[in-house]
Structure 1
Amino acid sequence: MLSLILSALLASPVAQGLVVPQLVELQKIGTQDDIFPYLAGDAPYFSYPNDYGIPREAPESCEMTQVQLIARHGERYPSKSRGRKLFKTWYKLSNYTKTFNGSLSFLNDDYEFFIQDLDNLEQETTLENSVNPLNPYTGEMDAKLHARDFLQQYGNLLENNTNLTVFATSSRRVHDTAKYFIDALGSDYNATLQVIDEEPSAGANTISAGYSCPAWNESAFSNITDAYSDKYLENIAKRLNKQNPGLNLTSSDSFMLFSWCAYEISARGYSDICDVFTQDELIRYSYYDDLSNYYSDGPGYPLIKDVGSNLFNATVKLLKQSEELDQKAWLSFTHDTDILNYLTTVGLFDDGNPLNATYVPFRDHVFHKSWQVPMGARVYTQKFQCSNESYVRYVVNDAVIPIESCSSGPGFSCPEDDFYDYAASRLQGLNFAAACDVTSVSNVTSLTYYWDYNTTNYNATLLDQ
């Protein structure tokens, strides 16, 4: 697959006239995908690792009747705040006057920092703004490949539709991902994009409910996450400082090196800084990310179920109306946090065992944030009919993830009526507007864009966030 992508990139107009990277650089591309699951959702897209082997296609003698997609934006450059921290670490390294030793020795070879234009911060990586013109891991390429995969899997649901409406938040990178996806669908589907506001004033009529939740306190359980040992970060700094006397890296610098590794892969196609880490350190960093997100954006923070209920309620309503709605494919693009909130309410990765900060729970560890929402993450809700019965199931990053308590249908799906009972139990007692104090920032308390987009033009101003 990677060789096909590189061949296509070599033939692309963007690559023409540019300096082709040296062979040694090309040989590095595609050799680091084994560490993607450990890079806190900042690395390029990868399929969910714990694949049960259940085919994504509709079971034999069954037919897809509706599909819903909630997808994350594609690979990108760091945020402005993360960029400032990365530059601080980079300046410390770039001002080192001695010869680098050990895993940092690559910096002796005319290394160029991967953030070469500050205007790229927050933005999607593209064929045009990549450091390496043959980088196959751009958000642009990811979205286009995703669109082709979507057509292969679900194209039949578009055959009788003269129009296809796609929804995206007003974040520029989310918008761009949706546009690349639409472009790759081709001209046969007359797809249009509705840009849904993610400002707090949007209230409940948003794909990004967290922005409309002033009651949300991401530090509510910091007492748990603060207890997690950062000795692994100290060890990284000590090792690099010993190899390079006078460098004076800190634990904070060590932490930023993980982000450097992940984001550089998306901008360059590979990253030599990734070789700094041992496998133990990657595991400890990955678990810290799981732990912190579990208690700020996931099952460990009770409010998150209310936040995610805003979108989950809407998706259940779309399923119930599948026969009366002309559109059979509902495609929405948003951020990783919004997908985590949604999945928390659905309950696919909540086994009721709270994560703790005292050790890595290798056996009892269901919530892997980076597995759920890598760059370009995609969560599909499938509804299919077998004979006269309908069934529902979820596909997360190419893997069918059955509902633990409801998987008796074909392909480990949930019978439709049983699914609605399951959804009702998950939504019982949840109230997004009340729990989040939405009315303090907006008078909009209902999500309506899936139903009124024909009469309301959603064209929110794009934001660099």
Structure 2
Amino acid sequence: MLNAISVLALAALVNGQLYGGGPEKQFSQKIDDGYNLLKHFGHLGPHTDRQSYGISRDTPAQCEVDQVIMVHRHGERYPDASDTYPQLVEALEKLYNYSDQFTSGSLEFLNTWESFLNDEAMLEQETYSGPYNGLKTAFDRGVDYRARYGHLWDGEGVPIFTSGSQRVLDTARRFGEGFFGYNYSSKAYMNIIPETEDQGANSLTPPCFVPSNVPFSIFFAPPVLASFFDAADRLNREYPGLNLTATDVKTLMNLAPYELNTRPYTPWADVFTRDEWIAYRYTFDLAFYYFAGPGSNTSAAVGSVYSNATLALLNQGPEKAGKLHFSFAHDTNITPILYALGLLVPERPLPKDYIDWTSPYKISDIMPMGGHLVLERLACNATAKYPKGSYARAVLNEAVVPFNECQNGPGFSCPLSNYTELVGGRAQALDYVSTCDVPTDYPQHLLFFWNYNKTTDFNYQKDPIGYQANLITWDGKPFKKSK
């Protein structure tokens, strides 16, 4: 007679034969992108590709990319010197001065943890150590894009445009080394565009002379504050007398993404709960939405400088305007471009009193470290479904992002004629010069895509790390200070 255990074992065996076992599943049922903590580090942590809509990143079968235009954020970096670094030092000192020892619990690791912030000379610069470091991110992107777009390079010199920040320039250089390989020293023309107001529209960092309409209090949204207060209370109960504040918590949370920019592991990730990290991410969603995105009164106009110039490149085509266009800037220069293009604009303003779970505006998906936007011009043959012609599509962090108003081309691309109406109409309506009150003696249009310097003088570092990049303009003229 079978005992109870044998009956259960036999049932499990039968069920396994009937309903399980056999060949492995073709597709995993575990979709866990949302659980990856990198997706909750906002714009501060290591690069992550964007979660796609399922549209193939590869070029549609009947098409070929005949022109590519990229704008790329600098890679993973150290904290800024003027704001974040002093706050981090102050918060850490509060922990180091704690009267009792962290003998156990959430902060026990502090007994052996060594800070990654020991070299102040590296503040604000690209990181160079650890698997997520910024210089590696940029080089790898160059290597990947050589494999993807190498057919567009004819062996002639190619300009690379970079804003005048050292970390942005270093990212551009490393990308160039990855893309051109041994030919980088002679075939890449590094053009440095100063980050100065008198560049006007002829800039990768266009200034706006109209003040923001957003109050600073946007950072203190209730769902965010509640989580930071909860974290402070939890740690203060664990370590009586520590007396952390909600502000201290927000600052200490910054250590996790910044440490990962330099190291393979950060213990700070485990100090805070998943709910607290989600609230942390939302602080950055709010900040970018209201200060450099759809919630800003000037953001779309600023972004139209680039969207309008690249529209001209796409319409001139590869033979007249060139096939490869690589540019490098900052996160707050690229998010306005997305808004000007009409990409990832929420149907309603991002709420301040609760977290909007359905909004497409999640900055860790939009502009993490090393974030990049690519505009591809596709030359497509005729099929039963699509006519022969030129199409445009946008790729953000390696995921195709269709235009809501125009996705009737191969791979959900947009016919170039329709793209021209869509983007050109927006740019004309936005009118950067009048919206941002640009002085009449400043450049009114972006010109350097057609008027660049064919020199290799700036391809390599010649001076100590610093903001020496602003010493010369793209056309070789002496640097002129802003008025």
TM range (shorter): 0.7 to 0.9
Q: 1:429 aligns to what SS in structure 2?
A: helix
Specify the alignment match of 1:4 in structure 2. none
Q: 1:374 aligns to what SS in structure 2?
A: coil
Listed as ranges, the matches of 1:42-53 within 5 Å are 42-49=44-51, 51-53=52-54
CA distance in 2, matches of 1:455, 1:263: 36
CA distance in 2, matches of 1:156, 1:433: 38
Specify the alignment match of 1:360 in structure 2. 355
Q: CA deviation at 1:214?
A: 2.3
Q: CA deviation at 1:314?
A: 0.6
Contact 1:228–1:288 at 8 Å: present in 2 too? no
Residue of 170, 173, 176 corresponding to 1:176: 170
- Structure 1 residue identity aligned to 2:55: I
Residue of 449, 469, 477 corresponding to 1:462: 469
Q: CA deviation at 1:93?
A: 1.1
Specify the alignment match of 1:444 in structure 2. 443
Q: CA deviation at 1:463?
A: 5.8
Residues 313-364 of structure 1 deviation map (CA, whole Å, 9 limit, x = unaligned)? 111111011143262010000000001111111111113311111211213x
CA distance in 2, matches of 1:268, 1:451: 41
Q: 1:165 aligns to what SS in structure 2?
A: strand
Matched, 1:304 2:321: no
Q: 2:110 aligns to what SS in structure 1?
A: helix
What percent identity do the matched residue pairs reach? 36
CA distance in 2, matches of 1:138, 1:430: 37
Contact 1:48–1:371 at 8 Å: present in 2 too? yes
Number of matched residues?
418
Q: Which has the larger radius of gyration?
A: 2
Residue of 107, 127, 148 corresponding to 1:104: 107
Q: CA deviation at 1:227?
A: 4.1
Q: CA deviation at 1:288?
A: 2.1
- Structure 1 residue identity aligned to 2:73: R
Contact 1:205–1:449 at 8 Å: present in 2 too? yes
Specify the alignment match of 1:193 in structure 2. 190
Matched, 1:407 2:402: no
Residue of 267, 270, 274 corresponding to 2:269: 274
Listed as ranges, the matches of 1:219-258 within 5 Å are 220-222=214-216, 224-229=218-223, 230-258=225-253
- Structure 2 residue identity aligned to 1:295: Y
TM-score (norm 1): 0.86
Gaps of 5+ in 2: 1-33, 382-387, 459-466, 472-483
Specify the alignment match of 2:422 in structure 1. 422
Residue of 185, 202, 205 corresponding to 2:202: 205
Residues 292-325 of structure 1 deviation map (CA, whole Å, 9 limit, x = unaligned)? 2211110011311111111111111110111432
Contact 1:168–1:174 at 8 Å: present in 2 too? yes
Evaluate the alpha carbon distance shift between residue 176 and residue 420 of structure 1 in structure 2; reply closer, same or farther with a 3 A threshold: same
Contact 1:39–1:258 at 8 Å: present in 2 too? no
Q: CA deviation at 1:404?
A: 1.2
Matched, 1:328 2:344: no
CA distance in 1, matches of 2:330, 2:218: 25
Q: CA deviation at 1:371?
A: 1.1
Matched, 1:152 2:150: no
CA distance in 1, matches of 2:221, 2:99: 37
Specify the alignment match of 1:122 in structure 2. 124
Contact 2:200–2:442 at 8 Å: present in 1 too? yes
Q: CA deviation at 1:41?
A: 0.9
- Structure 1 residue identity aligned to 2:69: Q
Evaluate the alpha carbon distance shift between residue 379 and residue 33 of structure 1 in structure 2; reply closer, same or farther with a 3 A threshold: farther
Specify the alignment match of 1:14 in structure 2. none
TM-score (norm 2): 0.83
Specify the alignment match of 1:24 in structure 2. none
CA distance in 2, matches of 1:48, 1:333: 19
Residues 271-310 of structure 1 deviation map (CA, whole Å, 9 limit, x = unaligned)? 1011111111111111121112211110011311111111
Contact 1:41–1:369 at 8 Å: present in 2 too? yes
- Structure 2 residue identity aligned to 1:69: M
- Structure 1 residue identity aligned to 2:194: D
Residue of 84, 89, 92 corresponding to 2:91: 89
